[in-house]
Amino acid sequence: MATRDARRPIVMFTNDNNTANARAAVAAGVSAYIVAALRPERIRPILDVAMARFEHEQALLAELADTKTELCELSAELNDCKVIDRAKGLLMPRQQLSEEAAYARLRKTKSSVSLLLRLRARTEMIWKWNYIILPVFTTANDQVKPSDRMPFP
């Protein structure tokens, strides 16, 4: 298939004027479906238009993909804001905090949790190195004792 790895403009010259076949060809990725006798002087303009249409379509598809990504990011940010607002709403009356103080407390807690998660990830990497990778570097005569390995926390 010509467009399996990367999309390319495709121009289909045919004598088949069946509308269903033309629609199927366009759905399969054909940029231009040309029906009629082909004269040499028509080929270049047809190819130019097909390439321009293809490039325009690719730009629209890229813009759509960017917009979808941006929408997902904004949606995640909105959800984060809602969660933060709910957390502030719960924290303020329980701790008798102002909105600013509640937000500061949440930020401090987030920093502590992030640090704990990073430490946990590093510990898991060390554990995997000791339990998974270390045996690969030993020979058949070497015996790796459980005491040679770091215990998983």
Task: Say what the pLDDT of residue 153 is.
Answer: 46
Task: Say what the pLDDT of residue 146 is.
Answer: 52
Question: Would residue 43 count as lying in a domain?
Answer: no
In the chain, beta strands by DSSP E: 11-14, 32-35
Question: How many domains does the structure of the chain reveal?
Answer: 1
Question: Would residue 121 count as lying in a domain?
Answer: yes
Q: Is 0.85 surpassed by the pTM of this model?
A: no
SS3 8: coil
Question: Would residue 123 count as lying in a domain?
Answer: yes
Question: Would residue 10 count as lying in a domain?
Answer: no
Question: Would residue 44 count as lying in a domain?
Answer: no
Q: Is 42 in contact with 20 (CB distance < 8 Å)?
A: no
Task: Say what the pLDDT of residue 123 is.
Answer: 74
What CA–CA distance (Å, rounded) separates 28 from 11?
A: 12
Question: Would residue 24 count as lying in a domain?
Answer: no
- Tally Cβ neighbours within 10 Å of residue 142: 9
Question: Would residue 39 count as lying in a domain?
Answer: no
Question: Would residue 51 count as lying in a domain?
Answer: no
Per-residue pLDDT of the chain (153 residues; tens, 9 = 90+): 555 677 888 888 888 888 999 999 988 888 888 888 788 888 899 899 989 989 998 999 999 999 999 988 888 888 888 888 888 888 788 888 898 888 888 788 877 777 777 777 777 766 666 655 555 445 555 555 555 554 544
- Residue 146 belongs to domain spanning: 112-153
What CA–CA distance (Å, rounded) separates 63 from 56?
A: 11
